[in-house]
Every structure is written in C-alpha cells, then in structure tokens.
Amino acid sequence: IWTPREATKLQKTQVLIAMRACYLLKVGGRMVYSTCSLNPIENEAVVAQILHRTNGAIKLVDGRSMLPNLQCDKGLTTWKVTDNKGNILDGPNENFHEALWPLADPPADMDLTKCMRLMPNHCQGGGFFIAVFEKVAEITHLKGDLKGKGAPKSPVDETPTGDVDETEDASAEAVPEKKARKEKPKKEGEESKVPAALRLPPQFVVPAAAQTESIPKFFGLQNFPLQNRS
C-alpha cells in the first residue's frame, strides 16, 4: 500500500542517482530523468535539487518541442509536503529535510514547467513524469558546500540533509550489522567456480529495426538521435 513515506524515503536515492549521472554526462549531452510517479517530491523536487546543486552546469530542456504529438501537463512549481499520516507540514524539521520542499531561493533561470507530466488520460496507462536535462559545462562546484572548498569528493557527499521519519516501522532494538565476508584470494592457475556461460562479458543489444522505426513515426520526429550522447 502506497503511503507518503515512500516518496520521502526514495527521494534521497533518486537525487544521488541523478547527480551521479550528471557527473558522467559529457558537456553537450542530454539526460532524461523519468519516474512512474506523479508525486512532486519524487519529480519536481528532485529536478530542483539537480539544478540548484550543479550551479548552472545542468540546464532543464523543454522536451515538448522534441515530441510535438505528446500530450502532457506542465511541471508543478509549488507543492505540499505531508508526514507519514498525511498531515501537511509547514516546513522542514528534524525528521523531514528541506529538499522535499520547493526551493526558497531558486535559480533565476529555473523553469519547472518545462517538465512533463503524463496523466492516465494522456497515455491510456499509468502516470509518468519526464524531465530532460542538458549539460552545458563541467560541474566544478556544487552548491551546498558551505566550506567553499569546491566540489565534494564524490556526488554522494552532496545529499539532502536530515533523515526521514521512519519511527512507524522502527523496531525496539537495533539489529547489529553482519560482518562482511572476506573473499579468499585466488591461487595462481585456480579456475573460477562461476560457470563459463556466466563469465561472458556484457554485450550491447541492438534494438530491433521495427522499434527504432515505429517510435519516430508515432511521435512525428525527424532525425531522431539513436546514438548515446553521454
């Protein structure tokens, strides 16, 4: 059963994944952030954090111009945050971090209406959220680094602060963590116990021609880029 807590728990992970992708993206490349949720905490709030933290290196692109036949709603610019019981919160506290709310001081060029919200009546299915980003410069400094010493060592250092309230599911006693099992070094000439079929390197699977032809035709696209730009 879905509860508001699901979004607040997932948002930190979603920001981390998106920020890592921003680091890996080359300048001029584009990244699509998409969820099967209509909750703004997982959607517009994540987009706002990406734009704020990358300090102008990542821009939001209006994807509707690339999909002229796509029916969708614009992204939200304001939203409410609730606790685990559905009560509306006035602002951040010790259990709900500030990244869940709209930015108090958003970048001047941030326009969350460029995001795309697909309602069930738009696509005859479940709801979806889509945001298209473009990297216009290398990420050299992340906002939120209060010490002013430049970007953190890795994207995971730049996470939303605070913890999500999980007291409803917390047990009375903490479960001790299991010690990690150390792998024994292989002796020279020793064969792997993994079957040969499972040791094959990953292979790139070329999409079927029927799929690559049907997508541009369905959405009325011309010169649709099929190569990865990252």
* In the block, residue with structure tokens 């610019």: 77
Query: What are residue 73's DSSP bridge partners?
Result: 117
Residue type, 114: K
Which residues are the active-site residues?
36
Q: What are phi and psi of 211, to 5 degrees?
A: -75, -45
The whole-angstrom separation of Cα 6 and Cα 155 is 23
147: its two tokens = 């010490």
DSSP label at residue 221: -
DSSP helix/strand/coil, 226: coil
DSSP label at residue 175: P
* In the block, residue with structure tokens 């999409």: 207
The whole-angstrom separation of Cα 203 and Cα 226 is 18
Percent of the chain that is helix, strand, coil (3-state, to 5): 25, 10, 60
The whole-angstrom separation of Cα 162 and Cα 97 is 5
